[in-house]
Structure 1
Amino acid sequence: MKIAVIMLAAGSSSRFGSNKLLYGIQGQPMYAHTLEMLAGLEETELTVVTRQEYRQIAEAAEKAGARVLYNPKPEEGIASSMKIGLKANLQADACLFAVSDQPWMKRDTVEQLIRLYRSSGKGMACVSFQGKTGNPCIFSGKYYEELLALDGDKGGKRVMDAHREDAAFLSVENEQELTDIDRRQDAKRQ
């Protein structure tokens, strides 16, 4: 089963006040934590969707062996980046979407999520903490059409909510793994 990993790194960081993906967390840019964690996952191919002006992210992704795609309209929301990554990976049996502003997500958690997806027989899988779902999420090919119909800033949550009976959930013990850094104070609290 071929799983494509799609790292979403084209956001505008409007609530952060500057490009949050370049903000230093534990000695390296925020995006680098996600890139490091995803690069080299076994039996996967990595695609990074970013924006033209984020050259540092594109260069680091290429150096890590990822395919880099550019979102010409990132202001249209996360769904626009998801669709760009998905269209480039339609041949994959499933796609795992990861966001670049979760610097504390662990590789082991993502590996467990992939194993859960493969063994569950379900069409989707995502991580959760005390019942609250988050990223990353995996969608099988049967959901590609619905994902390609998304728009705005909601992402795959709408698809997952519409088909919860076909989703497996990996419960994590540490809520910090699911923390999205949206504001500077989010980064400083950790």
Structure 2
Amino acid sequence: MTGLEDDRAPGAPRVLGLILAAGHSRRFGSDKRLADLAGQTLLAATVASLQPHVSSTTVVVRHGERPESLGLPAQIDVVQAPEAPIGMGVSLASAVTELLASADPRHQRCEALALMLGDMPAVHSETLHALMAQARCDVIVRPRYQGMPGHPVVFGRDFWPALAALDGDEGARGMLKRYQQHVVVLEVNDPGILGDVDTPDALSSFK
């Protein structure tokens, strides 16, 4: 078990954390997932920030990668993206397809998944707690800071089949428009929801 499911409050929504980490860091100039942040990799720091707030955690990695090579515990759940570099939408769809087909009870009983990028280590714990508390099967919960939407986005299980049908490189952005009547916006005082790390200079701001 990779999350802290047994410590969650009785009746709390069961949310699976899904972290996308199969990109190629072209703007960063090297593999930013391995960049050092306080003695651990950037990806490991992001995973560690989310884990206490979800019932289990799955990380989407590149084809053929092992979690240990990314600074992650060997026992963490990973899904390998398709071998061909065919975009974030396809990587996400592939991962959600596996989750829908999973016989793992941790996956079967989840009401929602929290979709997070692998380079977002600074989202406040209070924000994550508030997002997971809003999770339901029939809503999409999205945080917003000073008018700007961010991550993680919590997709109720009713929307997983649509995630599994995504294509291309857009990710879930189009879905948020398509199902906007089901989107719950959570206003937060947390710039961390916007803080993905695209350059070394951006990483230095977290140190």
TM category (shorter chain) comes to 0.7 to 0.9
Cα distance between partner residues in 2 of 1:13 and 1:177? 19
Distance 2:94 2:162 in 1: 14
Distance (whole Å) between structure 2 residues aligned to residue 39 and residue 189 of structure 1: 23
2:32 alignment counterpart: 20
Cα displacement string for residues 160-179 of structure 1 (whole angstroms, at most 9, x for unaligned residues) = 12222211122221323421
| SS across alignment from 1:68 | strand
Residue 189 of structure 1: how far off its partner (Å): 4.2
**In 2 relative to 1, CA 74–97 (structure 1 residues): closer, same or farther, beyond 3 Å?**
farther
Shift of 1:71: 1.3
Provide the C-alpha distance between the structure 2 equivalents of 1:189 and 1:59, rounded to a whole number of angstroms.
21
Question: Match for 1:104: what amino acid?
Answer: A
Gaps of 5+ in 2: 1-12, 101-107
1:56 counterpart (43, 56, 68): 68
Shift in alpha-carbon separation, 1:56–1:158, aligned structure 2, 3 A: same
User: Which structure: greater strand fraction?
Assistant: 1
Shift of 1:55: 4.5
Q: Which position in structure 1 is the counterpart of 2:9? A: none
- Structure 2 letter corresponding to 1:88: E
Pairs aligned (count): 185
2:118 is aligned to 100
Q: Distance in 1 between matches of 2:40 and 2:84?
A: 24
Residue equivalent to 1:132: 148
| TM-score normalised to structure 1 length | 0.84
Aligned match of 1:110: 128
Q: Once superposed, what is the RMSD of the aligned Cα atoms?
A: 2.3
Under a length normalisation based on structure 2, what TM-score does the superposition of the two structures give?
A: 0.78
Q: Shift of the alpha carbon at 1:54?
A: 5.6
